[in-house]
Chains A and B, each alone.
Chain A
Amino acid sequence: MKSEGLEIYTPEGVPFSLPLAGAGTRLVALVVDLLAILALGGLVFSALKAFEAAAPDAIGGIVTLVYFVLSTAYGIVLEIWWNGQTLGKRLLGLRVMDCHARPATATQIVVRNLLRPVDSIPVFYLAGAIACWLTRHRQRLGDLAAGTVVVRTQESLRADWSQLTRAKFNSLREHPALAARLRQRTAPELAALALDAVLRREELSPDARLAVFAALAARLRTLVEFPAHAVESLSDEQYVHRAVEVLYSTSRVT
């Protein structure tokens, strides 16, 4: 079965997963690389054009060879030099790695690049795309032979924790016994869901945002009934926000 990520267990027993790149993203990266090769070839051609009149045959030969070397060596050199990335992969946030989540070795990089012709048959990487679609780790034939995968590099994401402490006053904390009961009765999954909703609320469309917070508030309200004066002026979203603060923070209101 095809997996979304490359699952690894470290020797310390810690599992982690690297997200695998899909065929579409890789195709876009490939197009970028082809454009880069064309641009580099054009650059060389322009640089040599000045000498063409003096030695047209030699310049013609050099341009042919340079273009061939560029198209063959581009992927090999850049992936070795940039630790598994070409220009296209860098722009698209992709990286070639060993199947065990280690950096791909030079041998692996050369093998996967030399096998591009078999991936490109019959036209424009059709065999490679089919192999990506069929294999568990979305590998083209060159990747299978080299023992490599293409993963999405993850930017250093970090949640904006300040969002949780934005509200200075929390009417729910005025009732410590009820707040403790809320903490006790809330399942971890519901707490995580509510926290996720608060942190990602800006990513939701207005309608979805209203619906999500209405559902969460309704669920949380069934667990503990706070006095009416503590919750009467709160919208569903504000209620969930305050509930999350109660659930995830042990600091007391002074």
Chain B
Amino acid sequence: MILDLDRFVRDGEPLWQALDQQLTHLEKHPYSTIGVPDLERLHALYQRASSDLLRVRTLHSEARLRTYLENLVSRAYTAIHGVTEQRRFSPLSWLLQHFPRAVRRHSGALALSMALFWGGAALGAILLVLLFEDRATLFPFAGLEAKPSERVKRETIERSKMVSAQTGRFSAHLIQNNTRVAIFTFALGMTYGVGPTVLLFSNGVYLGAVAMDYIKDGQTIFLLGWLLPHGVIELPAIILAGQAAFLLTGALLPRGRRSPLAQRLREISPDALAIMGGVAVMLLWAGIVEAFFSQYHEPVIPYAVKIAFGVGQLAALVAFLKLAGSHEK
């Protein structure tokens, strides 16, 4: 069967152009609303274009006309069937309610992340004791090779001067570096859990080894005063990023579920993002505390104050993650 192309185009063109115009308007203003008459008109034009596309496909007609109509139909389909998120986004309720709820909802992934990190830390501490003579091999960078007591002396005398001149830059560097690490940990969830496992465990080993090195050298108070103010927020943030990563991993593995991969990923995405949003805020706070508070030692800030500040923050964080948003279903 051969189509009377001239007539087909002549009849269809005004309607296709009308649809094109309406779609162009909607594409330029994706968050605008349209009235019922316009919606009905859009739907009628979409159906007409769909019907014309079917005719063109059946009749093996000109490829460019088919492309043109496919383009129109796909755009109209997108406009009609696409759901624009009109719900008002409230960052505060997202952070104060959705984030702690998401953390609690996936307690298994959190437990795994914590176990890997603290398991690594325990191993690091044990290895430090066992391999004390070769302790340098356990440290991630060369600056830690000196005796902790020497480093403490240097930190308390020299570093405070240096840091006070560059606290802003230092804080910004810490925030961006830690956030990058958290995002990287989360993204590695796509490696079926291998990436976050290695990252969490190895960081745990380094932390455990360094901490034990200070403890063995009698510098426990300095260590607590130095690490607690920012560490009680920064380390849980990295562990929570690991939790979000294991959510991704959990969705990748079918584990007897029949739902397709895309659906499983779609289901965990809002919670994973809420956790990562909370992680970003935590790291922002930790970066500020580390640059403006943790780096100042006695006699500028007494260790007791720093340790109490750290313990207070940890208690507040635990209470927040355990209780916030629990009154709503």
Q: Which residues of A contact B (CB under 8 A)?
A: 8, 10-12, 14-18, 55, 57-58, 60-62, 64-65, 68, 72, 83, 97-103, 105-108, 110-111, 114-119, 141-142, 144-147, 154-159, 161, 164-165, 183, 186, 188-189, 191-192, 195-196, 199, 247-251
Cβ distance A24 to chain B, nearest Cβ, rounded Å: 22
Instruction: Evaluate contact between A161 and B6: CB separation under 8 angstroms.
Output: yes
Contact with A along B51-86 (1 / 0, CB 8 A): 101100101111111011011111001100111110
Instruction: Evaluate contact between B269 and A146: CB separation under 8 angstroms.
Output: yes
For the complex, is B20 an interface residue (Cβ under 8 Å from A)?
yes
A57 and B195 in contact (CB under 8 A), knowing A145-B248, A159-B68?
no
Instruction: Evaluate contact between A107 and B265: CB separation under 8 angstroms.
Output: no
Query: In the complex, A155 Cα to B83 Cα: how many Å?
Result: 23
A97 and B78 in contact (CB under 8 A), knowing A105-B83, A159-B64, A248-B4?
yes
Task: Choose one: A68, A157, A192; the contact of B61 (CB below 8 Å).
Answer: A192
Query: In the complex, A191 Cα to B1 Cα: how many Å?
Result: 10
Give the interface centre of A72, A159, A251 by most chain B CB atoms within 10 Å. A159
| Interface stretch (choices B123-131, B160-168, B318-326) | B160-168
- Closest chain B residue, CB of each to CB of A183: B2
Instruction: Evaluate contact between A103 and B71: CB separation under 8 angstroms.
Output: no
Instruction: Evaluate contact between B6 and A249: CB separation under 8 angstroms.
Output: yes
Contact with A along B1-45 (1 / 0, CB 8 A): 111111101000000000010000001001000000000000000
Contact residues in B for A195 (Cβ distance below 8 Å): 5, 61-62
Instruction: Evaluate contact between A65 and B176: CB separation under 8 angstroms.
Output: yes
Query: In the complex, A115 Cα to B81 Cα: how many Å?
Result: 27
Contact residues in A for B273 (Cβ distance below 8 Å): 107, 110-111, 114
Instruction: Evaluate contact between B74 and A8: CB separation under 8 angstroms.
Output: yes
Instruction: Evaluate contact between A64 and B59: CB separation under 8 angstroms.
Output: no
Contact residues in A for B179 (Cβ distance below 8 Å): 68, 72
Contact residues in B for A250 (Cβ distance below 8 Å): 4, 7
Query: In the complex, A106 Cα to B199 Cα: how many Å?
Result: 28
Give the interface centre of A16, A55, A199 by most chain B CB atoms within 10 Å. A16
For the complex, is B154 an interface residue (Cβ under 8 Å from A)?
no
- Closest chain A residue, CB of each to CB of B89: A106
Given contacts A103-B84, A119-B187, 14 further A-B contacts (CB under 8 A): A8-B77, A16-B70, A60-B169, A68-B180, A83-B27, A100-B81, A103-B78, A106-B85, A115-B187, A156-B72, A191-B2, A192-B61, A196-B62, A249-B5
Instruction: Evaluate contact between B176 and A16: CB separation under 8 angstroms.
Output: no
For the complex, is B222 an interface residue (Cβ under 8 Å from A)?
no
A98 and B276 in contact (CB under 8 A), knowing A64-B176, A248-B5?
no
17 contacts between A and B (CB under 8 A): A10-B81, A14-B53, A14-B73, A16-B77, A64-B172, A68-B176, A68-B179, A106-B85, A111-B273, A114-B276, A145-B265, A154-B70, A156-B20, A157-B67, A188-B1, A188-B60, A196-B63
Cβ distance A244 to chain B, nearest Cβ, rounded Å: 10
Contact residues in A for B50 (Cβ distance below 8 Å): 10, 12, 14
**Those of B110-132 within 8 Å (CB) of chain A:** none
A116 and B187 in contact (CB under 8 A), knowing A14-B54, A97-B78, A195-B62?
yes
Task: Choose one: B62, B266, B269, B270; the contact of A159 (CB below 8 Å).
Answer: B62
Give the interface centre of A117, A144, A145 by most chain B CB atoms within 10 Å. A145
Instruction: Evaluate contact between B187 and A154: CB separation under 8 angstroms.
Output: no
Task: Choose one: A98, A141, A183; the contact of B190 (CB below 8 Å).
Answer: A141
